[in-house]
């Protein structure tokens, strides 16, 4: 007869708890973390010192590229935050030309990411990718309004099953010099799934269809893939 464990303690259970508590890393960060770890190891081998700073630097770099699991709310007709951060602005402005949308003002929610925020980006709305375009530019501080127009950026346009179009733009910042985007034209995407990464401080703009009802305000914190940014037109 098999013995029972009244305490519920077991090694697999503990391992599962640890894995659940430590967020996975975005693949785009692995080469950077490996480089930091290799540099720390080399410094230790040459000088015989720096073991603790090397471990801390490697851990901090790995934490920067964390991609925590998120669960989208079971609600239809909404647009989710594409990034963790702080809402910088909510305003109506013409969308960037590369999105190929009508040049009329539409609601835009801009989220600023500090170096301490999660830097993966998530799909804000379920649908099909109809455009992806990278634009070179400057590297102004991402908390400036003109960063949306002047900085290097990558734009993705998603069309919902109802024919509504939502644009999401990854914007490089003062320290961010690399934007990764893992989706292509024609891809079917699910709300809340990870699709890209911006290294270091940056900004993410979401352009909403006209008549969308924005549900956040400047200064509010957002959680990518979970916070509701807006309700789409026609939704109660």
Q: In whole angstroms, how far apart are CA 113 and each of 1, 119, 170, 176?
A: 56, 7, 11, 11
Which tokens belong to 152? 């290097």
Residue pointed to by tokens 């708890």 = 17
Measured over the CA atoms of residue 94, residue 161, residue 215 and residue 210, the dihedral's sign is: positive
Cβ neighbours for 160, distance < 8 A, ≥ 6 positions apart? 125, 126, 127, 166, 232
Catalytic residue among 110, 148, 155, 202: 202
Supply φ then ψ for residue 107, to 5 degrees: -65, 135
Please answer whether residues 181 and 154 qualify as being in contact, where contact means their C-beta atoms are separated by less than 8 angstroms. Answer: yes
Known active-site residue 141: no
How many C-beta atoms surround the C-beta of residue 121 within 10 A? 31
CA dihedral in degrees (86, 91, 94, 98; nearest 10)? 10
Q: Which residues are catalytic?
A: 202
């Amino acid at each position: 007869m098999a013995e029972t464990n009244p305490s519920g303690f077991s090694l697999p259970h503990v391992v599962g708890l640890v894995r659940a508590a430590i967020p996975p890393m975005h693949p785009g960060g692995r080469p950077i973390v490996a480089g930091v770890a290799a540099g720390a190891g080399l410094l230790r081998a040459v000088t015989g010192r720096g073991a603790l700073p090397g471990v801390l630097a490697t851990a901090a770099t790995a934490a920067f590229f964390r991609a925590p699991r998120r669960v989208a709310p079971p609600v239809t007709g909404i647009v989710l935050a594409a990034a963790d951060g702080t809402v910088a602005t909510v305003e109506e402005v013409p969308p960037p030309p590369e999105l190929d949308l009508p040049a009329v003002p539409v609601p835009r929610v801009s989220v600023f990411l500090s170096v301490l925020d999660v830097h993966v980006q998530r799909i804000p709305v379920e649908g099909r990718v109809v455009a992806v375009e990278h634009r070179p530019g400057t590297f102004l501080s991402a908390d400036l309004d003109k960063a949306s127009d002047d900085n290097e950026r990558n734009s993705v346009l998603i069309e919902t099953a109802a024919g509504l179009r939502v644009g999401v733009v990854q914007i490089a910042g003062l320290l961010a010099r690399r934007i990764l985007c893992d989706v292509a034209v024609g891809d079917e995407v699910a709300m809340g799934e990870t699709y890209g990464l911006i290294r270091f401080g940056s900004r993410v703009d979401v352009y909403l269809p006209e008549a969308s009802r924005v549900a956040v305000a400047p200064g509010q914190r957002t959680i990518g893939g979970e916070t509701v940014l807006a309700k789409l037109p026609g939704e109660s």
